[in-house]
Structures are given as C-alpha cells and as structure tokens.
Amino acid sequence: MALIDLINVKKLGGELDEAQLAAFANAAADPQTPDYQLAALLMAIRINGMSPRETAQLTMAMARTGDMLSPQVGGTPVDKHSTGGVGDTTTLVLAPLVAACGGKVVKMSGRGLGHTGGTIDKLESIPGFRTELPEEDFLRIAREVGCCVVGQTGELAPADKRLYSLRDVTGTVDSIPLISSSIMSKKLAGGAMGIVLDVKLGSGALMKTMADCLALARTMCDIGRRAGRRMAALITGMDEPLGSHVGNALEVKEAIDTLAGRVTGPLLQVSLALGAQMLLLGSQAQDEDQAVRLLQDALDSGRGLAKFAQMIAAQGGDARVCEDTRLLPRAAVTQPVLSMADGWLSRMDTEAIGLAAQRLGAGRSRKEDIIDPAVGLVLHKRIGDRVAAGEALATLHHNHAPRAQEAHDLLLGAVHISGAQPPRSALIRARIAIDGKET
C-alpha cells in the first residue's frame, strides 16, 4: 500500500481504514521508508485530526510493530503513566505501596529530556540498580516482589520511536491523536491490563489548559478501553514542582523519606490518589476509600518502604539506601538561593525550575548528554508561603560553579513574590473514573 495514497486521503480530511493505518505503522517501523513521506502524513494528521476509531486503530497497529508482552504475574498487571513534570517522583512512592497491598506493578519508564525528569535516571542513581533486564527477569520480579520498573526496550513499539523523533522536528508534537497514540502504543505493548493516567496541568506541564488535558485524558482512556484495558485518569496540578526535591538522587531520597513517613505533602497526596486507582484496577479494593486506607496502612506499617528495598535488591541495587540515604550520590557543594524581597510566594515558572536543575547536570538538553545523579535543587517554599528578604528559597546541590550560577539566576527568575497571599490551588483538578464518569 503506497504511503502517497494515505497522504492524499488525510490531506483532504478523509479517514483511513484499519488496513491503511496498519500500513502507516509498519512503514514507520521500516527504516527504508523515507522520512519525508512519514513527515507529510504526520502534518496532514496534525492539521485535519483523526477520529476516535482511527486513533485507537493506529495505536494498536503501532503497538503490534514490536513485542507484545502478556505478563503472567499472579494477578492483574497495572501501570501508571505521567505526562511529565518537575519533582514528580510518584512512581517511586506508589509502586512499592501498591505492591505492598497485593498489586502487581509492571512498569516500563523513560529517561528525562528537557525540563522533566526521567524515572529511569532516578533509579539509576541508586548504586548498582539495573534498569535493563531480560523480559523473563522483569516478569519474575513483578510476580515475586509485586513491582518492577525497567527502561523501555527498542523492541517495544518501534513505529513510535521513529514517529516520535520526526514529530519533534516537524512541528507536529501538539497533536492529541499523535500524543495519545505515542503514549498508549507503548502501554498496550507493555501488557498492563489496568492503566492509570496522570495528566499534568500548569506551567511545568505539556498541556497548559484544562480543555487540552481533558481532551488528552479522554482520548487515551478511549484507546485503552477499545483495546480491552481498564482505564482511569487524574488531572493533577503542575504549577509548582510536585515534590520539594528536583534531581535524580535527591528525588530518590525524597521518595524514601516519604515511604519512611518522615515527610508528607503534595507528592504523597498525589501518590496515594494514583495508587488508589491502581488498586481499584487490580481489584485489591472495592472503592476508593478502602484503597486509600490500604495504602496508608502500608505506609504507616513500613511495608511500603520494605517493598521498595526488596525491589531495589531484586534489580541489583544497594537496598541499604532505604535505611541510610547518605549512600546515594551527593554533590560536593550546596548553595542557598536567597529571596530578594519580602512578601508571599505567588507564582512559579515550573518549567524554568526544571531547566535550572538541568543546567546543573540533572537533566538532558540532548539525548546524548551525561547525567550527574548527585546534582539538583531542594525547594524550601511553596506557592502561598510567606517569604522574607534574605531567606532561602531553595538550595542548589552542584559540582560545577559556572553551571550553578546559571541555575541560580534561572531559579530566581522563576519565583514571583507579591504583596498579597495567593489562593492555594487544588492538586487534583479532575478525574475520569474506571466507569468513565468525570468529576
């Protein structure tokens, strides 16, 4: 089937049938297919959109271009996907908590690029931790421990890998059908039967409006349901970093402190909300209240932290970090960032805060950049907090003074102080329940 025929259909606003969509996905996975034809079809889709049927069928076709896992893990395999944020360490908190409640978490995660952090980069800051495992080991650990988090393999939805790189250079990133098919093709190929979506809204998020967040969440839920998966979604705020720690080892430390009960706050609140949906999808709880109680008991009893240590050990890491976070990589220098004025912290540019951590070496601007696991920053104030001139807004953890100055300036520019206390926004802005009901 010639790609030019598909391009002609979409450029005129027509719909592609299932066979044509399969041909598109297979062409994307074939390295012999010219980039310019794939790019033309992506642009036609960006301009004219896709129907829900087209989007779902393209997603399944993309998933089938590579390995399709069918995890046998002794229960319903569940997964969580976040659209990306800053200080978003929910996977490291909720995966062991869900596993401690009897859930089976099978998760393939990515690396960070740009202002958002990558779960795999965070886990690799734990000495010895392996994120590349044979499929049989991945499934065995998920079955025996209850949770396993690994990197995405090249055999998983190879069509998406090609299209993702082309979207980035052709101005077609901001297409909800293409975003949805990219995310969900990997999730469907990964074999999870229950999937919770965490769609971020705010200055540090991909989606900046509630309308776009809901459209993306609805589209991904529709794809999953058409593919026989149980789906749920939360729209959560990213107008400020979710946790106070931004940087790989620093975020692992905060996750451990959260599981140990030493800290509470937005990171824990969102983790419990997402984890509750995972227990519902996996049939470990009958309703949300029961699910939250189960997770809270796993937290209070220490079973969640013990499960995280068990997962770390199973994946080759030094589980002693759960008892002594000083075993994690640490930066040579800490440097405070001081407020220039009195007032109330009224607004943050969360993307700029993520970029400040990237400048220190905690993230990548290019895929080939080398991560420094020790560096990052710790915020001491949140939106709505009172601030005095000369008070520390944050502390930089760095190994390179010129980079630290760049990060310092970025961070100061990202924080806005006013004379009036602003209202605090809700963390969870909207929900799409398993039955499709929206609140």
Pick the catalytic residue: 161, 186, 398, 408?
A: 186
Pick the catalytic residue: 88, 160, 222, 372?
A: 160
Query: How many other C-beta atoms lie within 10 A of the C-beta of residue 248?
Result: 32
- Of 332, 361, 324, nearest to 127 by C-alpha is 324
Pick the catalytic residue: 46, 115, 167, 307?
A: 167
Does the annotation count 380 as an active-site position? no
Does residue 161 contact residue 154 with C-beta atoms inside 8 Å? Answer: yes
At residue 77, the 3 state secondary structure works out as strand
Instruction: State both tokens at 431.
Output: 């929900």
Which residues does 142 contact at the CB level (< 8 Å), separation at least 6? 71, 73, 77, 104, 105, 106, 148
User: What does the alpha-carbon distance between residue 294 and residue 272 come to, in Å, rounded to a whole number?
Assistant: 10
Give ∠ CA 183-206-371 in degrees, rounded to 5.
80
Does residue 345 contact residue 392 with C-beta atoms inside 8 Å? Answer: no
- Of 244, 414, 407, 430, nearest to 346 by C-alpha is 414
Pick the catalytic residue: 175, 180, 182, 244?
A: 182
Pick the catalytic residue: 10, 80, 81, 398?
A: 81
Does the annotation count 408 as an active-site position? no
Instruction: State both tokens at 397.
Output: 């953890």
Does the annotation count 82 as an active-site position? no
User: What does the alpha-carbon distance between residue 252 and residue 259 come to, in Å, rounded to a whole number?
Assistant: 11
- Catalytic residues, by residue number, are 81, 160, 167, 182, 186
